[in-house]
Amino acid sequence: MAVKRGFFLIIGLCSLVLGLIGIVLPLLPTVPFILLAAFCFSRSNDRLHHWLVNHPWFAEGIRQWQSNRALSRPLKKKAMLMSVLSFGVSIAIVPIGWVKMMLLCMMLFLVFFLWRIPELE
Protein backbone atom coordinates (compact mmCIF):
# COMPACT_ATOMS: atom_id res chain seq x y z
CA MET A 1 0.00 0.00 0.00
CA ALA A 2 2.86 2.39 0.84
CA VAL A 3 4.48 1.72 -2.55
CA LYS A 4 1.21 2.57 -4.33
CA ARG A 5 0.82 5.82 -2.36
CA GLY A 6 4.46 6.71 -3.05
CA PHE A 7 3.98 6.05 -6.76
CA PHE A 8 0.92 8.30 -6.90
CA LEU A 9 2.73 10.98 -4.88
CA ILE A 10 5.72 11.03 -7.25
CA ILE A 11 3.49 11.11 -10.35
CA GLY A 12 1.39 13.86 -8.75
CA LEU A 13 4.41 16.00 -7.89
CA CYS A 14 5.88 15.56 -11.38
CA SER A 15 2.52 16.45 -12.93
CA LEU A 16 2.21 19.52 -10.74
CA VAL A 17 5.69 20.71 -11.73
CA LEU A 18 4.97 20.14 -15.43
CA GLY A 19 1.64 21.95 -15.09
CA LEU A 20 3.31 24.93 -13.43
CA ILE A 21 5.97 25.03 -16.14
CA GLY A 22 3.15 24.83 -18.69
CA ILE A 23 1.79 28.15 -17.44
CA VAL A 24 4.71 29.95 -19.08
CA LEU A 25 5.85 27.39 -21.66
CA PRO A 26 3.30 26.94 -24.44
CA LEU A 27 4.37 23.43 -25.41
CA LEU A 28 3.19 21.97 -22.10
CA PRO A 29 -0.54 21.89 -21.45
CA THR A 30 -1.27 23.08 -17.92
CA VAL A 31 -4.80 21.79 -17.37
CA PRO A 32 -4.24 18.05 -17.99
CA PHE A 33 -1.18 18.00 -15.74
CA ILE A 34 -2.99 19.82 -12.92
CA LEU A 35 -5.97 17.45 -13.22
CA LEU A 36 -3.60 14.46 -13.16
CA ALA A 37 -1.89 15.91 -10.08
CA ALA A 38 -5.27 16.28 -8.34
CA PHE A 39 -6.12 12.67 -9.19
CA CYS A 40 -2.77 11.38 -7.91
CA PHE A 41 -2.84 13.49 -4.74
CA SER A 42 -6.35 12.22 -3.93
CA ARG A 43 -4.87 8.73 -3.81
CA SER A 44 -1.63 9.55 -2.03
CA ASN A 45 -1.60 12.69 0.10
CA ASP A 46 -4.69 14.35 1.57
CA ARG A 47 -2.81 17.50 2.51
CA LEU A 48 -1.50 18.12 -1.03
CA HIS A 49 -4.88 17.25 -2.53
CA HIS A 50 -6.61 19.70 -0.22
CA TRP A 51 -4.03 22.40 -1.04
CA LEU A 52 -4.43 21.88 -4.80
CA VAL A 53 -8.23 21.79 -4.90
CA ASN A 54 -8.38 24.92 -2.73
CA HIS A 55 -5.62 26.84 -4.49
CA PRO A 56 -6.94 30.13 -5.91
CA TRP A 57 -5.46 29.48 -9.36
CA PHE A 58 -6.69 25.92 -9.86
CA ALA A 59 -9.64 25.30 -7.51
CA GLU A 60 -12.46 26.48 -9.75
CA GLY A 61 -11.41 24.45 -12.77
CA ILE A 62 -10.67 21.30 -10.77
CA ARG A 63 -14.01 21.41 -8.98
CA GLN A 64 -15.92 22.03 -12.20
CA TRP A 65 -14.16 19.19 -13.97
CA GLN A 66 -14.49 16.73 -11.09
CA SER A 67 -18.18 17.36 -10.52
CA ASN A 68 -19.46 17.94 -14.07
CA ARG A 69 -16.74 16.96 -16.57
CA ALA A 70 -17.23 20.48 -17.94
CA LEU A 71 -15.89 24.02 -17.48
CA SER A 72 -17.60 27.39 -17.23
CA ARG A 73 -17.56 29.63 -20.28
CA PRO A 74 -15.40 32.34 -18.62
CA LEU A 75 -12.83 29.77 -17.53
CA LYS A 76 -12.70 28.27 -21.03
CA LYS A 77 -12.29 31.73 -22.55
CA LYS A 78 -9.49 32.53 -20.11
CA ALA A 79 -7.72 29.26 -20.93
CA MET A 80 -8.02 29.91 -24.66
CA LEU A 81 -6.85 33.51 -24.32
CA MET A 82 -3.83 32.57 -22.24
CA SER A 83 -2.96 29.78 -24.67
CA VAL A 84 -3.17 32.11 -27.68
CA LEU A 85 -1.10 34.79 -25.91
CA SER A 86 1.54 32.30 -24.81
CA PHE A 87 1.82 30.68 -28.22
CA GLY A 88 1.71 34.10 -29.90
CA VAL A 89 4.74 35.29 -27.93
CA SER A 90 6.58 32.08 -28.79
CA ILE A 91 5.70 32.40 -32.47
CA ALA A 92 6.91 36.03 -32.48
CA ILE A 93 10.21 35.14 -30.79
CA VAL A 94 11.15 32.03 -32.78
CA PRO A 95 13.18 32.89 -35.89
CA ILE A 96 12.71 29.58 -37.75
CA GLY A 97 9.77 29.41 -40.14
CA TRP A 98 8.91 25.72 -39.79
CA VAL A 99 8.95 26.03 -35.99
CA LYS A 100 6.55 28.97 -36.24
CA MET A 101 4.22 26.82 -38.34
CA MET A 102 4.48 23.93 -35.89
CA LEU A 103 3.66 26.25 -32.98
CA LEU A 104 0.73 27.69 -34.90
CA CYS A 105 -0.64 24.20 -35.59
CA MET A 106 -0.20 23.23 -31.94
CA MET A 107 -1.97 26.41 -30.85
CA LEU A 108 -4.89 25.73 -33.18
CA PHE A 109 -5.13 22.13 -31.94
CA LEU A 110 -5.13 23.25 -28.30
CA VAL A 111 -7.74 25.97 -28.88
CA PHE A 112 -9.91 23.46 -30.75
CA PHE A 113 -9.51 20.98 -27.87
CA LEU A 114 -10.49 23.63 -25.31
CA TRP A 115 -13.42 24.75 -27.46
CA ARG A 116 -14.75 21.16 -27.55
CA ILE A 117 -14.83 20.81 -23.75
CA PRO A 118 -18.47 20.94 -22.59
CA GLU A 119 -19.59 24.18 -20.93
CA LEU A 120 -21.50 24.52 -17.69
CA GLU A 121 -24.88 26.13 -18.02
- Of all residues in the chain, the percent with pLDDT exceeding 70 is 99
pLDDT at 99: 93
51 vs 26 pLDDT, higher one:
51
| pLDDT over 90 at 15, yes or no | yes
What is this structure's pTM? 0.71
In angstroms, how far is CA 105 from the centroid of its own chain? 18
What span, in angstroms and rounded, lies between the C-alpha atoms of 22 and 27? 7
What mean pLDDT is predicted for residues 46-67?
Answer: 90
pLDDT at 65: 84
| pLDDT over 80 at 27, yes or no | no
Q: pLDDT band at residue 58, thresholds of 50, 70 and 90?
A: confident
Q: How far lies 54's CA from each of 41, 62, 66, 89, in Å? A: 13, 9, 13, 30
